[in-house]
Structure 1
């Protein structure tokens, strides 16, 4: 597993967004202000701190507010990525992301992203805060991810006519850290496909990805008509059976359910409670890695 250290804060598992060993990049990080750069040739922008405000000095003497300095938890002060600079939307212009907050002991770094608008000669704010961003230039994908509890969640953005859309979102599921429930979308926001995939690299999931298979770990695992303990059927799988995982749902009580397909004497598609895949000594979910 590769880890990236940002000035004393270790971000484990950022390599989960790589399509291959060197496919993704992390934006350039800067620990202190002021910072000056050229978003396009011939234009210079200076970003600085005044009291608790972060300001961008624009061409023509104009000033644009980029929010306030973040509250950094004690023990996480040495963060090299107070400001990130890169072409986040792959339009050939230089954008910036300003640290908005720190979470989960420094694992999650949240940013306000500002994209340079060449015509307006100022920044446009991105639609929402992003976390732990990485860039995959081959597919022009902005990937973000964050940890909540033992699980990782990712969102991938692509751009059409310079406007962002979510092309993929994933959530780590199960107990072993290698299953992700994924939803793929088209530029209009239509759901194209959802599946449970086995991977250490959720951003590699696409429409060609095959659904995962998982071995039953208990002696007898009942099947259900729906993800509800009250919908039990007379059918069951046994230890060693390896059904295909088609869909996923987490109930309010925290129980995990998988829609499975299994071919025995006949082909069945039913719901199976997630604990059927967990042995008594099942390991805790691991951080994503290559």
Structure 2
């Protein structure tokens, strides 16, 4: 079933499975929101919709005949895309990825540290410093960003140590090559 809300650019659908034993249709239980402006690409259902001023994509992978939400990408057409990866047990991981029209071609944004000693923070505020720091040339993956009331820009980063330990923290934009 498909319908467009009046004045909306989203044409949303509900997806049903045919149950041949009961000779009836049943709604997929693991799809909690409407599928809008959808396309089918290989084993994916891509739901594209606008909410406010941003375009979003929910990317479902068909596994054993059932659609499973794998990725939500927000702010399509922006300089970067905010990606939420849906993991088992309702866990999620956040990343900033490149703005490619094909969801399979979007890659995590990364940059390098440019200062000699870049302090890491628990939160995007200079009074939230940790004892950890990075040095010139350390490569980080960008997972989030914010601008504070004092107009300072911050990135939340993921850093892999030489021993494969993952550090996630905030860093001032001034310490990163991407901000130069």
TM-score when scaled to structure 2?
0.61
Deviations 1:78-112 (A, max 9, x none): xxxxxxxxxxxxxxxxxxx321525xx53322222
TM-score when scaled to structure 1?
0.41
Corresponding pairs, count: 159
Structure 1 counterpart of 2:26: 124
Checking the alignment, whether the CA contact within 8 Å between 1:178 and 1:199 is kept in structure 2 is yes
Structure 2 counterpart of 1:182: 83
Structure 2 counterpart of 1:135: 40
Structure 2, unmatched stretches of 5+, are: 160-166
State the shift of 1:250 in Å: 5.9
Structure 1 counterpart of 2:2: 98
Structure 2 counterpart of 1:66: none
**Is the radius of gyration larger for structure 1 or structure 2?**
1
In 2, Cα distance between the equivalents of 1:129 and 1:269?
33
Structure 2 counterpart of 1:41: none
Structure 1 counterpart of 2:61: 158
**Superposed counterparts of 1:233-244, under 5 Å:** 233=129, 244=140
Which residue, 42, 56, 74 being the options, matches 1:171?
A: 74
CA-based RMSD: 4.4
Checking the alignment, whether the CA contact within 8 Å between 1:168 and 1:184 is kept in structure 2 is yes
In 2, Cα distance between the equivalents of 1:272 and 1:223?
7
Which residue, 144, 147, 151 being the options, matches 1:248?
A: 144
Q: Secondary structure at the match of 1:259?
A: strand
